[in-house]
A and B are shown apart, each in its own frame.
Chain A
Amino acid sequence: DSGVTQTPKHLITATGQRVTLRCSPRSGDLSVYWYQQSLDQGLQFLIQYYNGEERAKGNILERFSAQQFPDLHSELNLSSLELGDSALYFCASSVAGQGASEQYFGPGTRLTVT
């Protein structure tokens, strides 16, 4: 158990809908990262927040957005969902926001878009 929690574990929704994925980082970690893992694209970095502020942005679509709240939990919002958005979404947390900081991954949320 990494100490990172993600909810829900599974989510099934229809195309065009909007969903919110939630992540609680390990106690004491200030940084949260979001990743997408699909069968055809592997793992991809989406976005990082550090202490409430966006720190880095990867291959995140404009239909996707995220935020980190004052209690440090984070939410990833996915809108206008397409079939290709079906994937495992992981959240990770670390103490620091840069450099060689160890990242601890949550168990993931499996999103299925039908």
Chain B
Amino acid sequence: KNQVEQSPQSLIILEGKNCTLQCNYTVSPFSNLRWYKQDTGRGPVSLTIMTFSENTKSNGRYTATLDADTKQSSLHITASQLSDSASYICVVSVGYGQNFVFGPGTRLSVLP
């Protein structure tokens, strides 16, 4: 069964600190992995998209890694800001964009 798991479920950090969110997947055939940021009640916003051959991709203070062998991905946030408070969702595309399997998300709270 295609499945995406994320950890931790929630995370609280202080402003300026770094954090790393995890995503494990059992999806076949794998096409690509996406990280989204979603503010409460709003549409998700794409952070990174990684294909099978990519190990690392950055978008400003966000850096995603992908290990296709262990089927794990991480999203590292550097020098967190209050505006980083949101849910971060890992999504894996099945086949050639035939389906999308969403993780449950990690709820990040950045405190001053």
A residues bordering B, Cβ < 8 Å? 2, 4, 33, 42-45, 48, 55-56, 58, 88, 90, 92, 97-108, 110
What size tier do the contact residues of chain B reach?
20 to 34
Give 6 new A-B contacts, CB below 8 A, not counting A97-B97, A104-B46, A105-B45. A99-B32, A99-B96, A99-B97, A100-B51, A102-B49, A108-B42
Let me know if B32 and A42 touch, CB within 8 A.
no
Per-position 1/0 for B15-57, Cβ under 8 A of A:
0000000000000000110100000011111100111000000
Residue of B nearest to A102 (CB): B46
Q: What residues of chain A lie closer than 8 Å to B102, measured between beta carbons?
A: 42-45
Expressed in whole angstroms, the Cα–Cα distance for A97 and B98 within the complex equals 10
Q: What residues of chain B lie closer than 8 Å to A90, measured between beta carbons?
A: 43-44
Q: Could you show 30 A-B contacts with beta carbons less than 8 Å apart?
A: A2-B43, A4-B43, A42-B104, A42-B105, A43-B89, A43-B102, A44-B102, A45-B101, A45-B102, A48-B97, A88-B41, A90-B43, A97-B97, A98-B97, A99-B31, A100-B31, A100-B51, A100-B93, A101-B97, A102-B46, A102-B49, A103-B46, A104-B46, A105-B44, A105-B45, A107-B42, A107-B43, A108-B41, A108-B42, A108-B43
Expressed in whole angstroms, the Cα–Cα distance for A29 and B49 within the complex equals 18
B residues bordering A, Cβ < 8 Å? 31-32, 34, 41-46, 49-51, 89, 91, 93, 96-105
Expressed in whole angstroms, the Cα–Cα distance for A60 and B19 within the complex equals 35
Let me know if A106 and B43 touch, CB within 8 A.
yes
Let me know if B43 and A56 touch, CB within 8 A.
no
Q: A2-B43, A105-B45, A106-B43 are in contact. Are A45 and B104 (CB under 8 A)?
A: no
Expressed in whole angstroms, the Cα–Cα distance for A78 and B20 within the complex equals 39
Expressed in whole angstroms, the Cα–Cα distance for A56 and B99 within the complex equals 7
Cβ distance B48 to chain A, nearest Cβ, rounded Å? 10
